Amino acid sequence: MSTIRRLCGFEESDPEPELLALALDDVAVALGDEGDRQWVKDFGASDKSQAVYELAAWLDRLGLKLTVDVQYFE
């Protein structure tokens, strides 16, 4: 199972996590360098709770901002 799939908790039959990896790689190609593409490949290797912080820090280095909107359901 790929790191992105494991990180997101998806089953192997679910293609959606691959979209995240492709999108992050596109960002790395457009705004970063080969080191950033490697970062995308390694993304999520650490603890799941750290992944969102790693992503936010990486995007910040590229001049982008991650915004998370939490919706509560009753």
Asked if residue 46 is part of any domain, the answer here is: yes
Asked if residue 69 is part of any domain, the answer here is: no
Q: What is the pLDDT of residue 15?
A: 59
Asked if residue 34 is part of any domain, the answer here is: yes
Asked if residue 73 is part of any domain, the answer here is: no
Q: What is the pLDDT of residue 66?
A: 87
Asked if residue 13 is part of any domain, the answer here is: yes
For residue 44, how many other CB atoms are within 10 A of its CB? 23
Q: Are 48 and 7 in contact (CB under 8 A)?
A: yes
Q: What is the pLDDT of residue 1?
A: 44
Q: What is the pLDDT of residue 12?
A: 53
pTM beyond 0.95: the answer is no
Asked if residue 66 is part of any domain, the answer here is: no
Per-residue pLDDT 10s for the chain (74 aa) are 455 555 555 555 555 767 888 889 999 999 999 999 999 988 867 677 788 888 999 999 999 998 888 888 87
Asked if residue 41 is part of any domain, the answer here is: yes
Asked if residue 51 is part of any domain, the answer here is: yes
Full domain range(s) for residue 9:
3-61
